[in-house]
Each structure stands twice: as C-alpha cells, then as structure tokens.
Structure 1
C-alpha cells in the first residue's frame, strides 16, 4: 500500500523516549484530549489529606501527580512497581520528604499493619486484603480505576482482543470485593468519557506507553488499520474511543 507522507511523518515523529506516565507530550500539545470526568480525583484526595497523618500513594508512576498535591501529611509514602519509574519517582518525591518504595507484588507491601490512615490509588492494581492490612481501622481507601473494557474501539480496529484478565473489572465487581473484605462504601461513581486522538502519531505513542491495551503492539503488524484511522482523522479531525473510569471511597467497617 502507498501511504501518504503525512502518515509516515507522524509515525516517525512519535519515535520519542517515554518516561514515567507523563503524557504531556501528546496532551499538552493538544494531540490527545480526554472528556472531563464528573469528579476530580485530585480534589477528593486533598479533602482527605488535610485530616491524615500517614498516607500512601499506590502506583505513583513517576510521582507526577503526587508531587503537586502538597503540603503532605507528616508521614507520606509512595509505591511503584514499574522499575523504570522508580528512580524517576525517587528523584521527584524524596526531596519533598516522601518515602518511595519499589514493590513487586500487590499482596506484599513493605509496610507495617495499620500504618496509614489514608491510602490513595489512581489507576493501579491492588490487593484488597493487603490494603486492609496496612490501613488503620478508621482509615480511608480512595481509588480511581480504569475499567476492563477501556478504549475497546482501539482493539476492535486493530483486531487485537481485549485482555481477558481484566474484562471483569468494573465498579460493581470492585465494590463487591471491597464489601466482602470488611469495607463499607462511602462514595462510588462510574463514567464512560470519550478520548480523542488528533493525529495517528499520538495514538501510536499512547499504545507504546500503555502496553496492556494491545499486548504485543507493533506498527508493522497494524499499519493498514492505523492508516485507516489516519484517513478518518483527516476527514473528521479526530478519532475517538470510549474510556471506562470509576471512583470508590471506602473505609473499614
């Protein structure tokens, strides 16, 4: 197939090193945009931080979000499981007095029982039992999650199945799991916002960063499908997918 020069340029232009979970390369330039949620994770976190003495941010990535939420409680900690992110998070957070720990399994967190009165989690997997172990009896667990059918249109267009491991993951399942493990639900919300890509390079950049969306993704294997999306963007101005997001605030019974 003969691809137009603009398509080939975008594929080359996205060939840039990715670090942390910082999407500013495509978000701040307007190449990818997400429909706003009906809630603000950061605002809700802050509403609980001012009452906390010890807090944990699970899956801090490169510490991008947490670093902007100060001032912090007396005992702030963060975990990260993706090895390349750990030095980035340490460099960003430790000067702020935040202890950063690398973790290797959701059910083996390196903290004492009942250490935290606030545990926050944005788009990170977790073990309910382990969260309960490290949380004080009066503590708060606050999580925003990505559902198992997130951006399913990408998979449909590329002919790549959604990851079977996560398709069950939604608000209802997460709530039932928490309740079965000694939590009461204080707040719960779910939404399906749209996410738009304004050039094919932005979509490819996204897929290379979010490796679990289309496992084993390679440009060479999906070039015709990508070119079809590129042509739609040229006609419509954007190509969009449907996200799946949910929020839970819970506390031990």
Structure 2
C-alpha cells in the first residue's frame, strides 16, 4: 500500500473541478438509493411543456446528461469557481447559467411562473422562491443531504461538526413546500452509507466538501489522519453515514 506521505501528496495535487468525483471513483463509495434521481429528473424534463431550471448545478456535470431541454431552460450556481465550468458544459445544450452570490444563493433572479420543472440536487433553496418561479402545474424535484451526513468522519478526526443547518430532514422540508403552496406528491428517505478505502480519498473528499470539516488542514489533522491510514493498512474500510431524502411537489393550477 502507498505510504501516508504518498497519499497526502496525491490528494493535495489532484485538482478540484466543478463537482466531479472521478478522481476518487471506487475509493469514496456511496451506497445505493431506492430511487434514481437522474432518471426521475430525466423523466420530468421529457414531460415538461416549458423551460427547466436546475438549482445549484455545480459544474453542470449531471444536468448535461439529462437533455434535450426545452427552450429557455436555465441553471443557477452560487460557487464562483463552478460558474465558468457550468457555462462551458451547458451552453451546447442551450442552457444559460445564472451566477448567484454565495451568501444569498436561494434568492432567484428569475421571472415569476416561468419554469415547468425545477430541479435541485443537494442545493439549499427557499420554498417560496421555488413556488414563485414554477409555472402553474409545474413540478419541483429535489434530493437533499441530511444534516447528519459524514458526521462519523468529523468524530474520527475530532473536528467540529459540519457547517450545515441542523434541520435538513424530510419532514421539515416537506412542510416548507406545503406552506409555500405546493402539493407534495413523493417523500422518501434512506441512508445508504458511505465507504472510504484510503486516507488520500478522505483528504481529497474533505477538500471538495469544504463544509464537512470547516477548518480542515492536513497538518492540523495529521495525527487522526495517520490513525485512519493505519486502519486502512490493516485492510479496514471507514464507514460513514450518508442520509438522503427525495421530495417531489407540484404547484397547484389555479
């Protein structure tokens, strides 16, 4: 097995681009969900009778695989390094990308009652804003990451908890959509777990998911990282929690 130093150097030298997990494919392994978000989104787009909006598109990696898209379709992104990546990925598909301020990425600079489908995979959102931009009869589909995601890794490192709201869960999110005037048609939750196979994958993951351990630095967490590496050398894997939930809701037709 490669040395600890080798893993560190490899993890720190591997670039982060968009929201692409290819560099750790087979080394950070999320378990299977009982639904397929991409297939559900693809079906919603195929049935859409108007433009599609994707919230928090990242580098556009997933959305680019779901077309073709109706004219006027758009995406938003609030992390500046991703905006140009997303525009390059989505321009060939006729999807424009709106850059949002990182400190207020839930307010949408988009017109009322415009989109037949609003998609959201793992992005924070304001239910009232989603309802506002949805056309009557339009569908909102979201898959969200529960607040407890990755917390075993935080505990193993002895670091602070993830920098995320504590109430990201199915029930409050479904209630928020109902208050915003949407009818919830599907609500399901599941925790498939996550496996890490080497310490380099852990380090790369924490660079990409920068809110998981907000003060993460290899030197600061050298001791617990070396303990993880020793466990990996013994043939162990690190198993974490990865709660997910999915909601589908429709804006009522007047």
User: Which TM-score bucket, shorter chain as reference?
Assistant: over 0.9
Question: Is the counterpart of residue 35 in structure 1 residue 35 in structure 2?
Answer: no
The number of aligned residues is 248
CA contact (8 A) 1:106 1:127 kept: no
CA contact (8 A) 1:106 1:130 kept: no
CA contact (8 A) 1:149 1:162 kept: no
Q: In structure 1, what is the equivalent of residue 141 of structure 2?
A: 142
How far residue 161 of structure 1 moved from its aligned partner, in angstroms, is 2.7
**What is the CA–CA distance in structure 1 between the aligned matches of 2:52 and 2:2, rounded to whole Å?**
50
CA contact (8 A) 1:114 1:135 kept: yes
Tell me: CA distance 1:5–1:47, structure 2 relative to 1, closer, same or farther (3 Å): closer
Point out where structure 1 has 5 or more consecutive residues left out of the alignment.
Answer: none
**What is the CA–CA distance in structure 2 between the aligned matches of 1:12 and 1:129, rounded to whole Å?**
45
CA contact (8 A) 1:107 1:129 kept: no
Q: Secondary structure at the match of 1:112?
A: coil
Q: In structure 2, what is the equivalent of residue 76 of structure 1?
A: 73
Q: 1:89 aligns with which of 86, 90, 100?
A: 86
Q: In structure 2, what is the equivalent of residue 98 of structure 1?
A: 95
Cα deviation digits, residues 70-114 of structure 1 (max 9, x gap):
111232111100000000011111122111110122343121100
Question: Is the counterpart of residue 48 in structure 1 residue 44 in structure 2?
Answer: yes
Equivalent residues in 2 for 1:1-253, closer than 5 Å: 6-15=3-12, 16-27=14-25, 30-52=26-48, 53-104=50-101, 105-163=104-162, 165-253=164-252
Q: Secondary structure at the match of 2:108?
A: coil
TM-score (norm 1): 0.94
Point out where structure 2 has 5 or more consecutive residues left out of the alignment.
Answer: none
TM-score (norm 2): 0.94
Pairwise CA RMSD: 1.5
